[in-house]
Chains A and B, each alone.
Chain A
């Protein structure tokens, strides 16, 4: 992509998209996230790493209020998106999620055609005025999801018939189709084979040009490959947050160092 270079500069601008302050999450009695402060920049890939059960996925799901669907989950503190608290009473989670899209661990295409999978978001949000509009959006999204060439001849076939990697890229394209500003990815490659993983990683890097991407990953190599910023979570605490290079080469906290060197996790 030729227009990558001018955009590189935007990465450097101190453009905060999401900022969490004193965020606490409780699952019933369990205190799952303890007092997390983090600032996520626009046009940046931010990786959340940490051992399993450390709360990184839970925190990610707070960013678009997916935790609302779990009855016993309670969130305290504030999370600002472009300066507005998303846990404000006046905020409609439906509008929020249109702004903050999400891709899940396991590819979860709807049992519909590929076309309808992509068109689902634009339809419910009323983004297309006509069928032609919708066609354009679907093609654009599939191209952005880097899967257009593979599926353009079978748009009316069910999305469940694709391979795992294709399904995940379809899900990314589906998330992109609603024109979000932030894209949350919850271990998007954990169910994929290495080839599909590298395709998705490549895609993530491209998406950074237009979105703020937050990715939860198990794999430190992946975090190192795709992200510019990295946050390390441990037992519900945000231990360290900083430039990816710095975290991996020169961590300040001993826990981070232990994790990265493979002593805990």
Chain B
């Protein structure tokens, strides 16, 4: 039974629970709702909630945990020698999964009969051929243990699905029945329903924590896996980055960190002065009309997707820089993709980020501070430079740090605009690459997922996450402290 059907059936039982529980509650007071503790509909909601909440929770847990349990059992049943032959158990299980899916699809398409698919003595070459013919992706010829395991997996999956349906529907019916039994006039249905809703709200709020936990765990496990097959001392100590998918790669993080840093610095050199001066002008000098035009215009820059900036770097700014600094001009630049290109474009992207944050912060400086300065005969610029900016400094530092964290984590601009060569160089007109760009290239390439060349992406991701996290926490702390000061 497809999951969608189970889901709909549970909802149906819930709806039934609503109607029956409401009726029963009303009947208990002779159809005079004034004698009920709660409004009649709350008894109905209770019926619905009791029927669906536990059942759907079990459904979700079963859907997530079921395949894991089955996989573990199937893996345990694999003959001992097979695992050693394959590169790793993960790969082997992936193969088993593929074959099992292939059998399912082939049956669904009518290429195989159900009997043939479950036949333990099926002819291997014939099976492989049929699966391939049905368009199912099989990487190698199906071997006996893999086919057996796949068939075992299919069997277990089917059993699991049946039991799941039974269990979930039974739970739904039981829940609905319980609610209907409780639907009496003195029962505090509203309180029960509200407690239930409250738990759902808590659950929704916890998703933020779950996401963070998910990020940390997925980075951590794979990073540990990476360091098991590649020495951490090399990763943090080597000054070269040269992955080769055949093995024997050198995966030193420093060239990537340097590229990231260099591009971010250039971006900030562009964004901070322009953004800050724009913010100062908008908040201190601009007439309301200019402000109402210029501020949204600048903020458009923040709403443009980064892929657009990436393309802008690759196809507009790169060629432009080449025509000035290239061989026909000053001769400093070899190709359009370079640190300068990516940094410049990233700087443009960050202008509105710096300006709108600084604008808020400058506006938070109390007017009394400015009046005090004007009252002493200071000009507006003296007031801004010597009173407003020093007062706003912590907030502005926070804003710049947030912008830096943005720059470090930015991906598409550097993937398209910075080039692919990892090198430690001071020349901003050379191509370099960054942590984010390499995460993309290592995980979208053809590398085997268990190889250090692919797993290194997780170590890079971990590094990126930690750096940006520290910057963010620090910056948010500063900005928060700053806001409190003038609240």
| Bind each other | yes
Which A residues form the contact surface with B (CB < 8 A)?
A: 64, 66, 69, 71, 94-99, 101-104, 106, 108-112, 120-121, 124-125, 171, 174-175, 178, 184
Taken residue by residue from 344 to 383, chain B's Cβ proximity to chain A (1 for < 8 Å, 0 otherwise) reads as: 0000000000000000000000101111111111110010
> Which of B287, B372, B379 is A94 in contact with, Cβ under 8 Å?
B379
B56 within 8 A of A: no
Taken residue by residue from 371 to 406, chain B's Cβ proximity to chain A (1 for < 8 Å, 0 otherwise) reads as: 111111111001000110011000000000000000
Residues of B within 8 A of A124 (CB): 376-379, 382, 386
Main secondary structure of the interface of B (DSSP, over half): helix
The answer for the CA separation of A171 and B373 in the assembled complex, in Å, is: 11
The B150-190 residues at the A interface (CB cut-off 8 A) are none
> Which of A69, A111, A120 is B376 in contact with, Cβ under 8 Å?
A120
A201 CB, nearest partner CB in chain B, Å: 20
Residues of A within 8 A of B374 (CB): 66, 69, 97
The answer for the CA separation of A124 and B375 in the assembled complex, in Å, is: 12
The answer for the CA separation of A166 and B135 in the assembled complex, in Å, is: 85
B390 contacts A97, C-beta separation under 8 Å: no
Residues of B within 8 A of A94 (CB): 377-379
Lowest 9 A-B CB distances belong to which pairs?
Answer: A102-B375, A98-B377, A97-B377, A108-B368, A108-B372, A121-B376, A111-B391, A124-B378, A94-B379
Residues of B within 8 A of A101 (CB): 375-377
A97 contacts B382, C-beta separation under 8 Å: no
The answer for the CA separation of A9 and B382 in the assembled complex, in Å, is: 40
Which B residues form the contact surface with A (CB < 8 A)?
A: 287-288, 366, 368-379, 382, 386-387, 390-391
A73 CB, nearest partner CB in chain B, Å: 14
The answer for the CA separation of A97 and B382 in the assembled complex, in Å, is: 14
Residues of B within 8 A of A109 (CB): 372
Residues of A within 8 A of B379 (CB): 94, 124
Closest to B382 in A: A124
The answer for the CA separation of A139 and B422 in the assembled complex, in Å, is: 60
Residues of B within 8 A of A69 (CB): 370-371, 374
The answer for the CA separation of A96 and B379 in the assembled complex, in Å, is: 11
Are A104 and B377 CB-contacts (below 8 A) given A110-B387, A124-B382? no
Residues of B within 8 A of A184 (CB): 375
A64 contacts B369, C-beta separation under 8 Å: no
B366 contacts A97, C-beta separation under 8 Å: no
